[in-house]
Amino acid sequence: MYGLVNKAIQDMVCSGYSEQIWKQIKHKAEVNVDVFLSMESYPDDITHRLVKAASVILSLSSAEIMQAFGEFWVQYTAQEGYGEMMDMSGDTLPEFLENLDNLHARVGVSFPKLQPPSFECTDMEENSLNLHYRSSREGLSPMILGLVKGLGARFDTKVEITQTQTRDEDAECDEFLVIYKPN
Ligand code: HEM
């Protein structure tokens, strides 16, 4: 994944814990990259190793870390130069979720090797929808819970999200029920 992702993990650990803890995590993960470059593509394995090492050092499950990371990502990208892109992607939670593929298509202009996820909203009701998540990668679904919660905070909207289908169990994709209510 692009360095932007690994940098965000670093930022989350350094702001929530300390630089010392980040060094321990990198050491445990056997990652000896001094500085991650946002626009450079790194093997996915580096990101996975960082999450695994963080899970051991912080005594949290990998799922908990990925969920926290999802929430963090929404504010991180907004403040790392992608705020305008976020602003253009919708004024409400459902509108934004429907625009996620357009958002990543725009991101792909600056990140040519991007392997973006794909999202589809179905069964849209006044306060609920089904969110379908497709990816060329495995194991990232806990991140979706955090991402959607982070978006709820962005739009001052109360959100409950539960995973209703898992690709691991032979479903065609991961699916989530999102129930929301603007404050
Ligand atoms: C302007 C804001 C955003 C930027 C700049 C951005 C950029 C990126 C980048 C660089 C990656 C790594 C993929 C790769 O290197 O191949 C990524 C992955 C991902 N993004 Fe975004 N993103 C943004 C917003 C969002 C939002 C709001 C969501 C909410 C659902 C989201 C969901 C994901 C997911 C789930 C992945 C993991 C990749 C996968 O599933 O295969 N992104 N994004």
Mean pLDDT of the chain: 97
Q: Coil, strand, or helix at residue 27?
A: helix
Ligand 1 closest atom vs CA 103: 1
Instruction: Check if 1 has its Cβ closer than 6 Å to any atom of ligand 1.
Output: yes
Judged against a pLDDT cut of 80, whether residue 168 lies above it is answered with: no
Instruction: Give this prediction's pTM.
Output: 0.97
CA 130, CA 31: separation in Å to the nearest integer? Answer: 38
Q: Where are the domains of the chain?
A: 3-60, 90-182
58 phi/psi in degrees, rounded to 5: -95, 0
pLDDT in tens, 87-101: 999 999 999 999 999
What are 172's two structure tokens? 């065609």
The pick from 37, 77, 120 for probing ligand 1's pocket by mutation, whose C-beta has the most ligand atoms within 8 angstroms, reads 77
Distance in Å, CA 89 to ligand 1 centroid: 13
Q: Tell me the H-state helices in 17-89.
A: 19-28, 44-58, 62-77, 83-87
pLDDT in tens, 25-59: 999 999 999 999 999 999 999 999 999 999 999 99
Query: In the CATH scheme, what architecture does the domain 90-182 have?
Result: Alpha-Beta Complex (3.90)
